[in-house]
Structure 1
Amino acid sequence: MRILLMIIGTICTILGFIGVVLPLLPTTPFLLLAALCFARSSDRFHQWLIQTKPYQSYVEDFRQHRGYTLKKKIQLLISVYIVVGFSIYMIDHLYIRIALSMMLLVQTIVLVFFVRTLPEKS
């Protein structure tokens, strides 16, 4: 079972790191799952993962406080809007543009209304 958890954790870590540069692929859920798998299978990998910059940047506040600061929410939305907006601009298929626009709307609604806004740290 330990080996299976390490394999799943490794795959989720790779997908989470890819999600840092591809906003269509979520980062936080994959890194949370990887942390869970590594916590149950390998202390060394778990310690490595929680020290990485993507984990600290995207997951730590969410894991500890179940939310993001307003500044972080705006940063996330801007990066998603830039990449998805560019995709919408480049793709010449109407239905794909509509699907990407709907996905962007859902991501915005979830981040604004369902993810808690944390106060800024002093």
Structure 2
Amino acid sequence: MRIFLVIVGLIAMVLGLAGVILPLLPTTPFLLLAGVCFARSSERFHDWLISTKVYQAYVLEFQKRRGFTLKQKFRVLLSLYIIVGFSIWMVDHPYIRLGLLVMVICQTVVLLGWVRTLPDER
């Protein structure tokens, strides 16, 4: 079981790191999954994961505070809209365009509707 959890954790970590670059791929859920898998299978991998800057930037704050500020939400959405909008403009296939549009709408609904909005830190 430990080997299975390490493999799932490594796959989730790679997907989470790819999510930093690819806006369509979420970062935080994959890094959370990797953290859970590593916590149950390998202390060494878990300690390494939580010490990375990517984990600390994307997961630690969300894990501690259970949400994002409105400014953080708008920053995420702005980068998502720019990159996906460019992709929609560049792709010539209508079904792919529709899929990208549906994905953006879903991500917007989840971020604005389900993720808690925290007060601004001042």
Same structural fold, with TM-score higher than 0.5 when normalized by the shorter chain: yes
1:54-78: per-residue Cα shift (whole Å, max 9, x none)?
Answer: 2112111222222112222112111
Please name the residue that 2:25 is paired with: 25
1:77-118: per-residue Cα shift (whole Å, max 9, x none)?
Answer: 112111111110101122221221121111111101110011
1:77 aligns with 2:77: yes
Please name the residue that 2:102 is paired with: 102
**SS of structure 2 residue aligned to 1:19:** helix
Please name the residue that 1:87 is paired with: 87
Quote the Cα distance in structure 1 between the aligned partners of 2:57 and 2:81: 19
Quote the Cα distance in structure 2 between the aligned partners of 1:2 and 1:61: 28
Letter in 2 for 1:90: M
Quote the Cα distance in structure 2 between the aligned partners of 1:86 and 1:28: 23
Quote the Cα distance in structure 2 between the aligned partners of 1:105 and 1:7: 32
Quote the Cα distance in structure 1 between the aligned partners of 2:99 and 2:8: 30
Q: CA RMSD in A?
A: 1.3
* Pairwise CA distance, 1:30: 0.7
Quote the Cα distance in structure 2 between the aligned partners of 1:75 and 1:45: 30
Segments of 5+ residues of structure 1 without an aligned counterpart are none
Segments of 5+ residues of structure 2 without an aligned counterpart are none
**SS of structure 1 residue aligned to 2:121:** coil
Please name the residue that 1:51 is paired with: 51
Quote the Cα distance in structure 1 between the aligned partners of 2:118 and 2:34: 24
In the comparison of the two structures, how many residue pairs are matched? 122
Q: Which runs of 4+ in 1 moved over 6 A?
A: none
Letter in 2 for 1:49: L
